[in-house]
Amino acid sequence: MANTDPIRVGVLFSRTGATARVELSQLLGTLFAIREINDAGGINGRELVAVHHDPQCVPSQYRVLAERLVCDDRVNVIFGCYMSSTRKAVMPVVEKWQRLLLYPTPYEGFEFSRNIIYTGAAPNQNSALLAAYMTRNFGVRVYLVGSDYIYPYESNRIMSDFILERPGGSKLGERYVRLDATEADFAPIVQDIRAQRPDFVFSTVVGKGTRLLYQAFAEAGLDPLRMPIASLTTCEAEVSEMGAPSAAGHITAAPYFQAVDSAANRSCLTRFQAMYGDEVAPNMCWEAAYFQVHMFARAMQKSGSDEIDRLLPHLLGSEFDAPQGRVRIDPSNHHTRLYPRIGRVGTDGRFAVVAESHLGVDADPYLVQHASNDWSLRGEAFGDIGA
Ligand code: ACM
């Protein structure tokens, strides 16, 4: 008799806390894919069942709940994590128990675990294009603002290298705010930005602070058409929270925006809206959360097991027609081939894609392919990055 037991998978995204808004979109992207798989008959006739816990954006809670998913709920695969601090909290758990984490968020790179699949962008897939686009269109004097944890520190270090290697490149400030920062924390930073007059601001502020930064920028009368904020994480989730007046004119690098012009993307957005309405704004993290579940399901269809040693040979090297384009998991580093894009928010509060790579770009998480004087050439490699 065929095995018809349900397959339980762990889901670790937060519904409350600093980055809950984007994590809720990742949660619904995950559940959406699970529903599609089950509606199509499950995996070899077996239903996929999500076991979700809410770690409330606290890294130690991710570790505790990952352990619970493995030891009590008996799952082999976990879809989860937004902040890099939370991925780093889960990594020892999946390594200890030989389980698999699929992680759908852009991050700072410089990491490999046999027990993690990375489906968000690494720095060569977002920061490199952003540096090329911003320096070409605005200038080489940058001011860095970030949240106080590992992803902003590391991303600012990488962006600083990209900028300082350009002729005249300079860093006019580097400031960090707590994850629970308030308006009062951003006011002096925006005052300093106004005094320093950089060519652009690079923000690695995540979660609730994002709205506060962009609103403080607007209230100070700074002009995003001349001095925009550039980001790797400010996506449709944050823009829908801050509103068009604060967001218009600002820039984000990501592999996916709702505006991606393809029938596959439009169809996916329509199907999602039919099931989940407007509860969340689809964005790059939602999209990665969605396609990674489908990639897992296809691999398991072939392996017949979600046990890591049986699953990995089918997941690694696999490809999928995601809303952003055809993606592929690189067997050598567990990262994903993605499509670097630049989006700019219009007065309607929606991103328009202003530059994009029509070819998928493999992840280079340790930036080993790139000589230190090679950054400007790397911009050229992306083709038209806009004028
Ligand atoms: C992040 O912390 N990787 C956004």
Angle at the Cα of 84 from the Cα atoms of 211 and 131, rounded to 5 degrees: 65
Q: Is the CB of 86 under 6 A from ligand 1?
A: no
298 has pLDDT over 60: yes
Residue for token pair 């929606």: 350
Give me the pLDDT at residue 377, please: 34
Closest CA to 361 of 106, 95, 121, 86: 121
Give me the pLDDT at residue 290, please: 99
Give this prediction's pTM. Answer: 0.96
Using one digit for the tens of pLDDT, what is the confidence trace for 238-293?
A: 999 999 999 999 999 999 999 999 999 999 999 999 999 999 999 999 999 999 99
Residue 300's φ and ψ, nearest 5 degrees, are -70, -30
Give me the pLDDT at residue 2, please: 83
Distance 150 CA to ligand 1 centre (A): 8
Give me the pLDDT at residue 369, please: 79
Nearest protein CA to atom 1 of ligand 1, as residue: 83
Domains defined along the chain, listed by start: 7-121+263-273+282-337 (3.40.50.2300), 124-259+340-379 (3.40.50.2300)
Cα→Cα distances 187→184, 198, 215, 221, 227, Å: 5, 17, 10, 12, 17
Give me the pLDDT at residue 379, please: 38
Q: Atom of ligand 1 at shortest distance to CA of 105?
A: 3
SS3 (DSSP) at 102: strand
Confidence of residue 371 (pLDDT cuts 50, 70, 90): very low
Give me the pLDDT at residue 10, please: 99
Average pLDDT of the residues of the chain? 95
- What whole-number percentage of the chain has pLDDT above 70? 95
For the segment 139-151, the average pLDDT, to the nearest whole number, is 98
Closest CA to 151 of 117, 112, 122: 122
Q: Is the CB of 133 under 6 A from ligand 1?
A: no
Using one digit for the tens of pLDDT, what is the confidence trace for 23-37?
A: 999 999 999 999 999
Nearest protein CA to atom 3 of ligand 1, as residue: 107
Nearest protein CA to atom 2 of ligand 1, as residue: 83
For the chain, report the end-to-end CA distance as a whole number of angstroms: 63
Q: Is the CB of 118 under 6 A from ligand 1?
A: no
Closest CA to 230 of 335, 156, 153: 156
* Edge-to-edge strand ranges of the sheet holding 116-118: 48-53, 7-12, 77-80, 100-103, 116-118
For the segment 112-139, the average pLDDT, to the nearest whole number, is 97
Taking each helix axis from N to C end, the angle separating 59-71 and 84-96, rounded to the nearest 10 degrees, works out to 30
Burial 38-64 (b: 16+ CB within 10 A, else e): beeebbeebebebbbbbbebbbebbbe
